[in-house]
Amino acid sequence: MDKKLNGDSETLKEFIRNFNHSDLTVRSYMLLMGWIIRASLPRKSVCPPLLENLAGSLTLWGMCAGLCYAMFDSFEDFQDYIFNYRVTEKKYEDQYKERIGLIRDNGIEFFTNQLYAKENDIRSVAGDYAMGLRCA
C-alpha cells in the first residue's frame, strides 16, 4: 500500500504541527509516530515544518532530519531539497546551514539510526504483546 494521507486534513495538519510542539516529550513522541507512518505522510506537508525545527530547535533536530529524509527516494533528492530550502526565520539561517553541513559531512545514517532503533523497540514490544495475547 503506497497511499499518502490527505495533506489538507485538519487532523493531519494538527499531527504535523505537533512536530514542533513546545513540550520536548510531546515533540519526541510525535516525531517518532511520524517515523512509524512515514510512508503515508505527504512530503509537501511534512518537510517544511521539519526543516524549520531543524533550523531553530535546540534538540531533536537530528530526528527531524531523519524523518524529512524518509520523504525522499534518494539522499541526493533530499540533499537538493534541504540545500534549496529557505528557513522562514532569518535568525536561524546560519544554524540551519551549519546543521545541513553536518548532515552532508556525517551522512544521513547518523541521524536515522536512532529512529530505526526506536522503531525496532516499538516493534519488539508490540510483538511481545501480540505473542502474549496468542498464548493466553
pLDDT in tens, 36-53: 999 999 999 999 999 999
Q: What are 65-115's pLDDT values in tens digits?
A: 999 999 999 999 999 999 999 999 999 999 999 999 999 999 999 899 989
Residue 56 has pLDDT above 60, yes or no: yes
129 Cα distance to chain centroid? 26
Residue 60 and residue 70: Cα distance in Å, rounded?
Answer: 16
Burial of 118: CB neighbours in 10 Å, binned 0-12, 13-18, 19+: middle
